[in-house]
Structure 1
Amino acid sequence: MGIINWIIDLGPSVMMPIIFFVLALCFRVKIGSAFKSAMLVGIGFVGISLIITLLLESMGPAAEAMVKRFGLELTVIDPGWPVAAAIGWGTPIVPFAVAGIILLNILFLFLKLTKTVNIDIFNFWTFMIIGALVYSITDNVWISTLITLIHFAVVLKIGDLTAPKIQSTFNLKGVSFAHGITAVFVPFGILINWIIERIPGLRDVKADPESITKKFGVFGEPLTLGAIIGVVLGILAGFNIGDVLTLGITVAAVMVLLPKMVGVLVEGLTIIRDAAEDFLKRRFPDREFYISMDTALLIAHPSVLATGLLMIPSTLLLAVILPGNRLLPFTDLASLSFLFAMCAPFLKQNMVRLYITGLVIMTMVLYIGTDISGTFTDAAKIANVSLPSNISDSTELANLVGGASTPLGWLLIKITSIFY
């Protein structure tokens, strides 16, 4: 656990270059090229982290202001995905779950049940958060670990099945996304796209970034869309004119800079990917392998990022009008793009289809969060997590962006609770 905690504390921007450097050497990449590749991956992660932090720090006050301005008074608070990550990494199941995930991945690779090599250790919490909630119900390490591994196995398979489409759409050859937060929602995106294709009029709406740019010129480019969305959100938040304009420029900057940082990371990834492909094809000519990556690589697409921003006020509205909902969207409002990023290729990167899918996903998340709030709060107490200063210790908790607030996570938790 000391070694695991040391690695996790390094953060993705340090941990991932070390992992990729070792991988590059294993795949016989020359040490100079391995170093360059690993550094580009690290620089890409730093750039992505800085830009996402810029977005979160800009949108956080706007989201908080909208909550206050609209007078939302709900009894379950969203403390943000860092709290969920702390819960995932903070329960007694961690050493067993981490070892189990790694061994299960190796076993599946050996049995040809998966093509994905999941090296995204930092995001193991997206699986372990389910185990943490189950542990708060059962007080049983082994059952909780088993549930964690079931969740991981399902998500790993979804990562395999979705990889070809995502690779071709986002030009990310050789990677997959076995990510517990977003992978589970892909089947819903596919189903919604199937329904839209059978609705005259709606199926003919072209709202992908390329079509919008072609139709509106500069006014349809990502930087303009970002500026417009930022200004609208600033107005909804009740900001003064200076803050409204600042938010517009900031969101426009994120729309332009984030894809460039992803490009830097992919440049480093390509060196290792090509070497790995040659190495593995010589030894396993009939096999194909994917490297699992963080969904942060996908939110840079203009359709995903723009839709995520539009979902902020929409999610607040849903929280008010949905009967029986008690979850107040709060800290994770700026991170909503992560929930449907993997759906984009299956929705033709169409922002209208993505927005409709986002509404369906957020409806599920709000109801699931409301239902599991007691269990989530108990798990937070067991893990002794530090809550944000603006959240009372007596408040019930649930996340918008976290593996526990997905249909699969909810199902596993409810099945376990039947027997305890």
Structure 2
Amino acid sequence: MDLILQGFKFIQGLGPAVMMPIIIFLLGVCLKAGIGKSIRSGLTVGVGFIGLNLVIGLMSSNLGPAAQQMIEKYGLTLSVIDVGWPAAAAIAFASTVGTLIIPVCLLVNIAMLLTNTTQTVDVDIWDYWHFAFTGALTAILTGSQLIGMAAAILNMVIVMVIADYTAPGLEKHNGLAGISLPHGFSTAYVPIAWIVNKVIDQIPVVRDINIDLDQIQRKFGVFGEPILVGTVLGIIIGAVAGYEIGGVLTLGITLGGVLVLIPKMAAMLMEGLLPISDAASTFIETKFQNRGKIYIGLDSAVGIGHPITLAVSLILVPLTVFLAVVLPGNKVLPFADLAVIPFMFVLIIPMVGGNGFRALITGIITIASGLLISTNLAPMMTEAAINAHFKMPEGAMAISSICDGANPLTWIIVRLNDFGMIGLGALLVVAAGLAVMNRNRIIKEAKMLHSETTVE
């Protein structure tokens, strides 16, 4: 068992850029896509991830100092430090739940596929840390590693259902055919976006407001293109941060480049996935008639290239710092995770039909609630960090993060366990109910597809 666990820890340490090509290759071979196609697909996906990580790193390395400058300029003094998602992931994987999370989640995914309660083959193994994070905090709250693992499993079940539900919108608005995003952070904001969208639909005049970059680009030409939108937003952020003119212009050009390069890297990644996606569809159609469409589950980084996602995210960077100061009850100083704000919007955008105005309203609500959630979860995350021998930032008494410390789904799952077995039972009922509803939807969809094929 120790040898097996060490093997999974080795896999965790490889990171997605190495793991994904291997997984895609093995998946392609299993689906009979051919050795050559599988190798090319795996390597192309790996290169796509490297490109995405480089551009996202470029964005992070430029937004981070700008955020720090804002914090220093306006004298922000908040007691909980945002240490960022890499620290949160390391803390999650270092927990007892995190040690077992990969084999357990693989078994859960297989069980859901066999019972027809999901359409997603979740190959995004590295991002299982989101489920481990929920489990680790639950274990601290309850004092039980078993309950912690149960919370992590139920978290995954809920996320898989949401990933299936949002996949068609992801294809329509992001052009990601055959892809779903079972990402523990991004999926958590889907219910909020759904509610906000429904509420706005009931408000006259407001419901007619739409910010669509495609329409803006058609109307204003070059002035509506993502490269110019990113540049202008970068200049505004640099000015708010108090940069000198050179720094302002550099940040503007950099963020303009980010808005152009991220979609291109995502397109390359999709190029590698298409043969595998096609092979998966052919395999399912041949072997099963009640399975419906099968999606390849990936990291939500592949979806952040939508221009509205990036534009709204850049607007929210200075707004997040402002909200941190004025929001009653908040103790979190946002910093390291400001660059993950686009990941919040990957699935919000399809839910609001690509409407930038509704995305912005949803974003303000999610950021404000997220700061309060991260404040509430900070004591447990700090304890988890201490248990994992995480080196605390100098002078920090408590830590948290925007990802996943501000995750509303994580917060609900953890806090339900305040009610003991009643809370865990309620969570089990919700997860099971969603899984059954998803199964009914999948079977209905499969029958419709089968009947259409028969007619043709």
Mark yes or no: TM-score above 0.5: yes
What residue in structure 2 maps to residue 333 of structure 1? 338
8 Å contact from structure 1 (residues 136, 382) kept in 2: no
8 Å contact from structure 1 (residues 338, 401) kept in 2: no
- Deviation for aligned residue 1:394: 4.2
What residue in structure 2 maps to residue 408 of structure 1? 409
What residue in structure 2 maps to residue 158 of structure 1? 162
Question: How far apart, CA to CA, are the structure 2 residues paired with 1:324 and 1:31?
Answer: 56
8 Å contact from structure 1 (residues 41, 266) kept in 2: yes
- Deviation for aligned residue 1:136: 2.1
8 Å contact from structure 2 (residues 193, 352) kept in 1: yes
Question: How far apart, CA to CA, are the structure 1 residues paired with 2:115 and 2:406?
Answer: 31
**1:71 matches 2:70:** no
What residue in structure 2 maps to residue 366 of structure 1? 371
What residue in structure 1 maps to residue 171 of structure 2? 167
Question: How far apart, CA to CA, are the structure 2 residues paired with 1:219 and 1:386?
Answer: 46
- Deviation for aligned residue 1:341: 1.5
Letter in 2 for 1:407: P
8 Å contact from structure 2 (residues 41, 276) kept in 1: yes
What residue in structure 2 maps to residue 148 of structure 1? 152
- Deviation for aligned residue 1:282: 0.5
Task: From 184, 198, 213, give the equivalent of 1:180.
Answer: 184
8 Å contact from structure 1 (residues 83, 386) kept in 2: no
Question: What whole-Å deviation, never above 9, does each CA across 1:277-320 have from its counterpart, x for those lacking one?
Answer: 11221101331211111110111111001111111111111111
Question: How far apart, CA to CA, are the structure 1 residues paired with 2:205 and 2:272?
Answer: 43
Question: What whole-Å deviation, never above 9, does each CA across 1:199-229 have from its counterpart, x for those lacking one?
Answer: 2222222311111112221111100000000
8 Å contact from structure 1 (residues 21, 38) kept in 2: yes
8 Å contact from structure 1 (residues 208, 348) kept in 2: no
Mean CA deviation greater in 55-64 or 192-201? 192-201
What residue in structure 1 maps to residue 401 of structure 2? 399
Question: How far apart, CA to CA, are the structure 2 residues paired with 1:258 and 1:97?
Answer: 30
Letter in 1 for 2:304: I
Question: How far apart, CA to CA, are the structure 1 residues paired with 2:6 and 2:206?
Answer: 54
Question: How far apart, CA to CA, are the structure 1 residues paired with 2:9 and 2:23?
Answer: 15
**1:107 matches 2:108:** no
Aligned length: 416
Where do residues 288-367 of structure 1 align in structure 2 (5 Å cutoff)?
288-367=293-372
Task: From 2, 10, 22, give the equivalent of 1:6.
Answer: 10
Letter in 2 for 1:311: L
Question: How far apart, CA to CA, are the structure 1 residues paired with 2:186 and 2:413?
Answer: 16
Question: What whole-Å deviation, never above 9, does each CA across 1:61-110 have from its counterpart, x for those lacking one?
Answer: 00110111111111111100111101110011224333221111111111
Question: How far apart, CA to CA, are the structure 2 residues paired with 1:83 and 1:13?
Answer: 18
Letter in 2 for 1:405: A
Letter in 2 for 1:97: I
Question: How far apart, CA to CA, are the structure 1 residues paired with 2:370 and 2:76?
Answer: 18
What residue in structure 1 maps to residue 21 of structure 2? 17
8 Å contact from structure 1 (residues 48, 258) kept in 2: yes
Where do residues 231-270 of structure 1 align in structure 2 (5 Å cutoff)?
231-270=235-274
- Deviation for aligned residue 1:253: 0.5
- Deviation for aligned residue 1:49: 0.5
Give percent identity, aligned residues only: 39
Give 5+ residue unaligned stretches, structure 2: 422-456
What residue in structure 2 maps to residue 222 of structure 1? 226
8 Å contact from structure 2 (residues 310, 342) kept in 1: yes
Question: How far apart, CA to CA, are the structure 1 residues paired with 2:232 and 2:25?
Answer: 41
8 Å contact from structure 2 (residues 80, 396) kept in 1: no
Question: How far apart, CA to CA, are the structure 1 residues paired with 2:258 and 2:281?
Answer: 33
8 Å contact from structure 1 (residues 132, 379) kept in 2: yes
What residue in structure 1 maps to residue 442 of structure 2? none
- Match of 1:77, SS state, is strand
TM-score by structure 1 length?
0.96
Question: What whole-Å deviation, never above 9, does each CA across 1:370-411 have from its counterpart, x for those lacking one?
Answer: 111111100111112244xxx226421111121x42222112
- Match of 2:347, SS state, is helix
Question: How far apart, CA to CA, are the structure 1 residues paired with 2:234 and 2:108?
Answer: 44
Question: How far apart, CA to CA, are the structure 2 residues paired with 1:92 and 1:346?
Answer: 35
What residue in structure 2 maps to residue 61 of structure 1? 65
TM-score by structure 2 length?
0.89
- Match of 2:121, SS state, is strand
- Match of 1:397, SS state, is strand
- Match of 2:384, SS state, is helix
Letter in 1 for 2:362: T
Question: How far apart, CA to CA, are the structure 1 residues paired with 2:40 and 2:369?
Answer: 43
Question: How far apart, CA to CA, are the structure 1 residues paired with 2:170 and 2:267?
Answer: 16
- Match of 2:346, SS state, is helix
- Match of 2:150, SS state, is helix
Give 5+ residue unaligned stretches, structure 1: none
Question: How far apart, CA to CA, are the structure 2 residues paired with 1:103 and 1:323?
Answer: 43
- Match of 1:89, SS state, is helix
**1:124 matches 2:128:** yes
